């Protein structure tokens, strides 16, 4: 019996072990156990059970050699992301460009809401500051999100930014996410030049970057694991209910106990402390406007009926 992080590895007949999926590619799952990588496939019963192994999953598997193994079971997850498909994430690093593509409060808040919902700690990394001419915009973005309590990495000195990021990696599974062309792969290449991850320029026609990362892989960096994942430019709220949404805004959570009504949705209710703080400038109006838009999107979709656990 060997401890591997918080997971105990039980060797049964020298073949059945517990490990973590570090890469998924072309139907194969690459599982690491005791610093050894095994190429495996998922058992057919996963499909019947409607289970899909994800990068980051802890699994029990069997293998007679390094290239011919089978995943037998998935261990319980603490969370999972669909886009990107990663499980057991500790830190979500949202890479948002200030220019090319243009900065979007709406897009950033979509990422933050989804991370809050999955109980993943968010970190905001503002990229392409060397191309930014409007320094007031940068100051405003930092002020809005730092006031809420989010960590914002946005020094004009890129080496300082990278050093700040690397300090966060230790003992954590971190995911880089953000719109295409924001510079996620470029950033990881600077953190670990040996990775040589593919990058692509912004499309002049579409005004957004091309997808350059074709699979999800956990990379060992500075004592932790970091996922480089495909970029994308929009996020929908598939699981979050209208009731849950206000709880995904930390500044709303802080104000809610002072609302007149206990289950205040912060829209039309009288005596709403959230709306009062927006009027007083204590809560950023752009965040409140995004909240109203997200709420409208959720209310227009088909009802979500959650199964009792």
CB 41 within 8 A of CB 70: yes
* pLDDT 10s digits, 238-274: 789 999 999 999 999 999 999 999 999 999 999 999 9
CATH number of 81-228: 3.40.50.300
**CATH 2.40.50.140-classified regions of the chain:** 2-76
180 in a labelled binding site: yes
241 in a labelled binding site: no
CB 137 within 8 A of CB 103: yes
Give CA–CA dist 19/14, Å, rounded: 14
CATH 3.30.300.20 fits 245-300, yes or no: no
| Structure confidence at residue 210 (pLDDT) | 41
| Structure confidence at residue 45 (pLDDT) | 75
Q: Mean of the pLDDT values across residues 133-152?
A: 94
| Structure confidence at residue 308 (pLDDT) | 53
Name the H helices within the chain. Answer: 45-48, 105-117, 135-148, 158-169, 184-191, 250-255, 273-279, 285-300
> Average pLDDT of the chain?
84
Token duo for residue 6: 């918080």
Give CA–CA dist 226/219, Å, rounded: 5
161: left (phi over 0), alpha (psi -120 to 50) or beta: alpha
Q: Mean of the pLDDT values across residues 210-236?
A: 71
Token duo for residue 294: 């997200």
**CATH 1.10.40.50-classified regions of the chain:** 245-300
Q: Which residue has the higher pLDDT, 31 or 1?
A: 31
184 in a labelled binding site: yes
272 in a labelled binding site: yes
Flag whether pLDDT at 15 surpasses 90: no
| Structure confidence at residue 211 (pLDDT) | 40
259 in a labelled binding site: yes
225 in a labelled binding site: no
Residue 232 pLDDT level (bands cut at 50, 70, 90): low
68: left (phi over 0), alpha (psi -120 to 50) or beta: beta
165 in a labelled binding site: no
13 in a labelled binding site: no
182 in a labelled binding site: yes
Flag whether pLDDT at 61 surpasses 50: yes
Q: Mean of the pLDDT values across residues 204-217?
A: 48
**CATH 3.40.50.300-classified regions of the chain:** 81-228
56 in a labelled binding site: no
Right CATH for 2-76 from 3.40.50.300, 3.10.129.10, 2.40.50.140, 2.60.40.10: 2.40.50.140
129 in a labelled binding site: yes
Span of 97-101, 176-180, 209-213 with lowest mean pLDDT: 209-213
pTM of the model: 0.83
Percent of the chain with pLDDT over 90: 57
In terms of DSSP bridges, do strands 36-42 and 28-33 run parallel, antiparallel, or are they unpaired? antiparallel
């Amino acid at each position: 019996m060997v401890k591997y992080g918080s997971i105990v590895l039980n060797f049964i007949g020298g073949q059945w072990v517990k490990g973590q999926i570090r890469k998924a590619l072309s139907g194969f799952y690459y599982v690491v156990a005791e610093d050894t990588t095994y190429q495996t496939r998922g058992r057919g019963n996963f499909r019947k059970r409607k289970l899909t192994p994800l990068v980051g999953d802890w699994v029990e598997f069997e293998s007679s050699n390094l290239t011919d193994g089978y995943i037998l079971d998935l261990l319980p997850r603490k969370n999972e992301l669909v886009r990107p498909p990663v499980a057991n994430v500790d830190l979500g690093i949202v890479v948002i460009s200030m220019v090319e593509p243009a900065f979007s409060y709406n897009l950033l808040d979509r990422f933050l809401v989804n991370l809050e919902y999955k109980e993943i700690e968010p970190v905001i990394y503002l990229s392409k500051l060397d191309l930014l001419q409007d320094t007031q915009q940068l100051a405003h973005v930092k002020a809005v999100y730092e006031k809420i309590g989010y960590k914002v990495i946005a020094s004009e000195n890129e080496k300082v930014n990278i050093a700040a990021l690397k300090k966060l990696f230790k003992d954590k599974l971190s995911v880089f996410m953000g719109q295409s062309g924001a510079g996620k792969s470029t950033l990881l290449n600077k953190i670990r030049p040996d990775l040589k991850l593919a990058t692509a320029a912004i499309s002049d026609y579409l005004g957004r970057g091309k997808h350059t990362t074709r699979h999800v892989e956990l990379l060992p960096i500075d004592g932790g694991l970091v996922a480089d994942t495909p970029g994308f430019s929009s996020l929908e709220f598939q699981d979050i209910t209208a009731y849950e949404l206000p709880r995904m805004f930390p500044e709303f959570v802080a104000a809610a106990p002072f609302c007149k009504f206990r289950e205040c949705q912060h829209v039309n209710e009288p005596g709403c402390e959230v709306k009062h703080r927006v009027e007083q400038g204590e809560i950023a109006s752009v965040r409140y406007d995004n909240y109203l838009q997200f709420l409208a999107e959720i209310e227009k979709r088909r009802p979500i009926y959650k199964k009792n656990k």
